[in-house]
Amino acid sequence: MADRFLTDFELLVMLAVLRVRDDAYGVPIARAIEEHTGRTVTLAAVYLALERLTQHGLVSFRLGEPTPERGGRAKKFFSVSSGGLDAVRRTQRAFVALWTGIPELKGARP
């Protein structure tokens, strides 16, 4: 999946994972997307996107320790792989290339 472009939601999830860094599990990832975009997201949508990205090798995860406030369930910490970073950059370049040269969008920062 070397040349894969990300969907808009996958891009949001990847950027949120990169932004949250070491604490990148479901709750903070969803919160980061909501805080920065104003868009309400469900955790299930975030997990489905992460599962897809993991299958494509763009994201990897490690399991944390189970905690009582989570009902004894472990956290799944996600991180973006080097292939994932390439996919983000490639998608950004595609967006910027499409963005530039549109008179109606002149002056707006991509």
Partner 1 sequence: MRTPPRLATGVLQRLGHPDDAFIGDLAEAFRAGRSRTWYWRQVLSSVALIFIHDAAQAPVRTLGAATTGWLTALTLFLVLGDATRDVLSQWLFGWNWLDAVATQLWWPLPIVAVLVSYIGFALSGCAVATIHRRHAGSALIAYTVSVPLVLAISAAAVDVLTRRHGHVSGPHALFYTVSVALPDQWRSGLLLAPAVTLVAGLFACPRRSAFEHLRPEI
Binding site for partner 1 (CB under 8 A): 25-27, 42-45, 47-48, 51, 63, 66-71, 73-76
Q: How far is the CB of 46 from partner 1 (least distance, A)?
A: 9
Q: How far is the CB of 3 from partner 1 (least distance, A)?
A: 22
Q: How far is the CB of 74 from partner 1 (least distance, A)?
A: 6
User: Which is nearer to partner 1, 74 or 94 (by Cβ)?
Assistant: 74
C-alpha–C-alpha distance, residues 16 and 21, integer Å: 8
Determine the number of helices (DSSP H) and then strands (DSSP E) in the chain.
4, 2
User: Which is nearer to partner 1, 66 or 110 (by Cβ)?
Assistant: 66
CA nearest 19: which of 65, 64, 76, 79? 79
DSSP for residue 67: B
User: Which is nearer to partner 1, 35 or 51 (by Cβ)?
Assistant: 51
Who's near 102: CB < 8 A, 6+ residues apart?
none
